[in-house]
A and B are shown apart, each in its own frame.
Chain A
Amino acid sequence: MSDNPIRQKLAELKGLARTARIDLSREIEELEKKLEASLMPENEAWRRVELARHPERPTTLDYAHAMFDDFLELHGDRTFADDPAMVGGIALLGGRPVTFFGHQKGKNMKDNLKRNFGMAHPEGYRKALRLAHQAEKFCRPVLSFIDTPGAFPGVSAEERGISQAIAATMKGFAELTVPVVVTVLGEGGSGGAIGIGVGDVVLIMENAFYSVISPEGCASILLRDPSKARHSASLLKLTPEYLLEFKVVDRIVREPPGGAHRDPAGAASALKTAIMTALEDLDKKNGDTLLAERHAKYLSLGVFAEQEPQRKSLLQRLRDFF
């Protein structure tokens, strides 16, 4: 992990000690202790959370500008409004038409007020579903980008049916006969994330996370202590490596050293390659195969135990009953 700032400083210090012949052993020892601590799972999870939320981290539109040859943003859910916290449109990816959408965070306070900090309202999800259906109609693959602290939790979202919008979007994505590639770019916050998260392949950036609840929310609700966010981040096992283990994501996209914000073009190029590779695989499958595999992927998520099956099969037993 060459992108660890402490490790970099340590190397600098060691080099300095060698060339300048100064006794820095105490400082080096201290830094080594600090480095060790930073590699503890607790701090590693928190480091990812902080990088995923970094104010300069590239957003959905940044990736759109960097990855696509050209794109046209399309607005509105055709029912209520346009949601600036969810952007979308048609694009050319390596010369090929695709439909994309994703949560959009702001770059500064003014921008964030417009983008509602990436917290979409129901109309955002309905726009995404509308664009997805349009993609299916015109045989374009769908690219979905997740980067949200969560769906907007206020009364304005409740009264326009945020729960219904998220549920209907997940259900709708389950039936798209075109390839769907989902990427978690930064924050994968709860229901707001999974709302546009059902797809054939789920990618995640190296310094992104995906969680049922924010570390802060988990700390205040389960641990009853809001200051324990750092600790709950590690308990939630929200880092890409765990997500891969749980089969929630399929591939991790490596970021440039120090995180995507250090080299947005490099991050976009890595993501573009990963998406194009995923699409190449998915292109080989027809609509029925895509659907069957997507259903099987989501219906098999979860961890539980069960006793050995009894001799009689389900169907036999059901027949006995009827």
Chain B
Amino acid sequence: MIEFGKQKGWIRYLTEHPVRRKRDERLFIDEKHSCPSCQRPLTAQEMEAALYTCPHCTHHFRLTAWERIRYTADEGVFQEFSADMETMNPLGFPDYEEKLGSTMQKTGLKEAVVTGLCKVGGREVVLGVMDFRFIGGSMGSVVGEKVMRAMLVGAEKRLPVIVFTASGGARMQEGILSLMQMAKTAVATQALEKRRCPYFVVLTDPTTAGVLASFAMLGDVILAEPGALMRFAGARVVAGTIREKVPENFPLSAFHLDRGFLDAVVPRQELKRTLSFLIATHPLAQGGRG
């Protein structure tokens, strides 16, 4: 049997990032928004105070990976895994390097997922956060590898693993290799299963296709944010294959909750408390039964 716990070298080194609760005030100058749901004007400060939800209609705005980490991790340090990992162009797909370059510049990220160690509710956890801005949060080789390693470190160190998903699916530019990341991440969840490490998933808007149909749906507890789009097939794929009309924004998390595929839909303000509760109710004593 594979000794997940004894495999070494998954993480070459850790990159430390400070986690602070308060955002720098300077960032807010002249930022004006209006809520896409209720159209009411919002200032950046109002949004920030409500964790980027609309204080009027509770519309949940999408978060960047680092915003999410700031709202989830305890104040202190986030130790990032594999920050040096580089995306390649294995198919030689046209314009892929340019797309990666411009996306990196725009987002300040190297890939669509950030993984690392931090504390949530006072307990050490492995945290993975996807960022939809990075080529639609799509899963290529690097995303699959980072998610897999996060799970293996969780299994190795016997820590809970929390993943926030946001993805358009597999990254088409990496062809069949991105499809294989579905299998890879699904297989990796077995490492957590084996060592009885809790694996919690939070589905955020939008989580679709290859990511939804792999590690996102395999959590011990699966939560979702209100109004998060969750679907296997995109509207264009549906229209192209079966000529069935599916609304752009369907189905949302409430639909899946009704049909029994989610444990709970949790508003953003409640998420940290909910995750802390889950971590506290899944004690993982070192040397416990594994």
Contacts and interface: CB of A to CB of B under 8 A. Distances in A.
Interface of A: 119, 149-155, 157-164, 166-168, 170-171, 174-175, 190-191, 193-195, 197-198, 210-213, 216-218, 220-222, 226, 235-238, 242-243, 246, 248, 288, 291-292, 294-296, 298-299, 301-307, 309-310, 312-315, 317-318, 321-322
Contacts of A160: 259
Contacts of B216: 163, 167
B8 A313 contact: yes
Contacts of A310: 12-13
Contact of B12 (A162, A197, A220, A314): A314
A303 B11 CA distance: 16
Given A167-B218, A198-B183, A237-B91, A318 B124 contact: no
Nearest to A322: B124
Interface string B253-275: 00110011100000000000000
A267 B257 CA distance: 46
Contacts of A303: 88, 90, 141, 174, 177
B55 interface: no
A198 B12 contact: no
Contacts of A166: 182, 213-214, 232
Given A167-B216, A306-B84, A151 B232 contact: yes
A237 B176 contact: yes
A186 B255 CA distance: 34
B128 to A, nearest CB: 16
A163 B217 contact: yes
Instruction: Identify the interface centre among A159, A226, A291, A318: most chain B CB within 10 Å of its CB.
Output: A318
Contact of A170 (B79, B214, B230, B260): B214
A258 to B, nearest CB: 26
Given A153-B238, A163-B230, A190-B210, 4 more contacts: A159-B255, A161-B259, A163-B261, A191-B210
Interface in B63-84: 79, 82, 84
- Residue of A299, A306, A322 with most chain B CB atoms under a 10 A cut-off: A299
5 contacts: A155-B251, A167-B214, A236-B91, A238-B175, A302-B181
Contacts of A294: 187
Contacts of A313: 8-9
B175 to A, nearest CB: 5
Question: A159, A218, A302, A306 — which one has the most chain B CB atoms within 10 A of its CB?
Answer: A302
Contacts of A170: 182-183, 186-187, 214
B183 A154 contact: no
Nearest to A156: B244
Given A159-B255, A217-B237, A302 B183 contact: no
Interface stretch (B17-25, B32-40, B43-51, B142-150): B142-150
A158 B176 contact: no
A211 B241 contact: no
B10 A314 contact: yes
B88 A305 contact: yes
B179 A212 contact: yes
Contacts of A296: 2
A235 B187 contact: no
Q: Which of B117, B153, B179, B209 is the most central at the interface, judged by chain A CB atoms within 10 Å of its CB?
A: B179
Nearest to B79: A321
B14 interface: yes
Contacts of A246: 90, 176-177
Given A158-B232, A304-B85, A321-B14, A220 B182 contact: no
Given A153-B238, A167-B213, A167-B216, A306 B182 contact: no
A318 B157 contact: yes
B241 A295 contact: no
B179 A190 contact: yes
B189 interface: yes
A317 B116 CA distance: 13
A276 to B, nearest CB: 25
B90 A314 contact: no
Contact of A238 (B88, B176, B212, B215): B176
Q: A119, A149, A171 — which one has the most chain B CB atoms within 10 A of its CB?
A: A171
Contacts of B87: 304
Contacts of A237: 91, 175-176
B217 A292 contact: no
A94 B189 CA distance: 36
A191 B233 CA distance: 10
Contact of A301 (B1, B117, B173, B184): B184
Contact of B184 (A162, A218, A298): A298
A160 B256 CA distance: 9
Contact of B183 (A151, A197, A307): A197
Given A153-B233, A168-B218, A292-B1, A302 B186 contact: no
Given A153-B241, A235-B94, A314-B11, A301 B181 contact: yes
A152 B213 CA distance: 13
A170 B183 CA distance: 6
Contacts of B212: 163
Interface in B179-224: 179-184, 186-190, 209-210, 212-218
